[in-house]
Amino acid sequence: MSAVKTLEAVARDRVGKGAARAVRRQGHVPAVIYGGGQAPQAIAIDLIRTRTLIYAGGFKTTLFEINAGGKKTRAIPRDFQLDPVSGVPLHVDFLRVVAGQSITVEVPVHFVNDEAAPGIKQNGGTLNVVLHTLALDVAPDAIPEAIEIDLTGRQIGDAIHITDVKLPAGATFTGEPDATVANIVPPTVLGAEVEAEEAAIAEAQSAEAAEEAASEDAAEGEKKED
């Protein structure tokens, strides 16, 4: 379960594009907290802190306690915008969370112990990941940082379904009940075919070069005889 993180903020009394630009010029990111049966609250958060949190990963699965002017609100990021060129955060949307509420979040999947999977280690198979994240309906204070899937003993042809995955207590998967998370596929022969084709091309080019060299030698010999 992810720990609740503190996030300092400043309440904003003005909204709109002009106000947002002014906030950004001051080294902050405009943001809004909505939901929970309350009116939206406009805030500004530190740019460097926000950028660090976003690029550290797991931002959308982290529960924050936002302190804006002494008023503390628990919320989770629902969306954020980045500048398409610089990657600088432009805006963040937070969703209020209240006791007894569950929310849907995308939790990353981590595969472990691939060295103990005979299909991969001994037989050269490849792990084909179908779902890199799992959409879970879970209580805000029970959001896992990631879902780990153990590959120990997995063979080529094995498929890992959502029913094989151990989810946190109280969490439910919101997708198809029989969804495939990953499978182990046989080693591809494409690489060997490409190598053989490249070798054949190289051999043909070498033979062609040899023929050209022989023709040039013959032409030189004829010139000398003349």
Residue 34: the pLDDT is 93
**How many structural domains is the chain composed of?**
3
Give the whole-angstrom CA distance, residue 198 versus residue 14.
65
φ/ψ of residue 25, rounded to 5: -65, -25
Q: Are residues 112 and 151 in the same domain?
A: yes
Q: Are residues 108 and 178 in the same domain?
A: yes
Cβ–Cβ under 8 Å, residues 2 and 136: no
Residue 205: the pLDDT is 79
Q: Are residues 79 and 131 in the same domain?
A: no
Structure tokens at 226: 């003349």
Per-residue pLDDT of the chain (226 residues; tens, 9 = 90+): 567 899 999 998 878 888 888 989 999 999 999 998 889 999 999 999 999 999 998 899 999 999 998 889 999 999 999 999 999 999 999 999 987 888 999 999 999 999 999 999 888 899 999 999 999 999 888 888 899 999 999 999 999 999 999 998 889 999 999 999 999 998 875 455 656 677 778 777 777 777 776 666 665 665 555 5
Which of 96, 127, 156 lies at the terminal end of a domain, its last residue? 96
Tell me how far the alpha carbon of residue 52 is from its chain's centroid: 16
Amino acid identity, residue 107? V
Q: Are residues 109 and 167 in the same domain?
A: yes
Return the CATH number at 47. Answer: 2.40.240.10
Give the whole-angstrom CA distance, residue 121 versus residue 116.
7
Tell me the residue range of the domain where 137 lies: 103-185
Residue 221: the pLDDT is 60
Residue 189: the pLDDT is 55
Q: Is the pTM of this model over 0.85?
A: no
Q: Are residues 178 and 221 in the same domain?
A: no
Q: Are residues 207 and 172 in the same domain?
A: no
Residue 70: the pLDDT is 85
Side-chain half-sphere exposure of 53, counting CA atoms within 13 A? 23
Q: Are residues 12 and 61 in the same domain?
A: yes
Q: Are residues 66 and 39 in the same domain?
A: yes
Q: Are residues 154 and 89 in the same domain?
A: no
The neighbour count for residue 221, using CB atoms within 10 Å, is: 10
What Å distances lie between residue 32 and 46, 82, 107, 143, 157, CA to CA? 14, 15, 23, 22, 47
Q: Are residues 180 and 199 in the same domain?
A: no
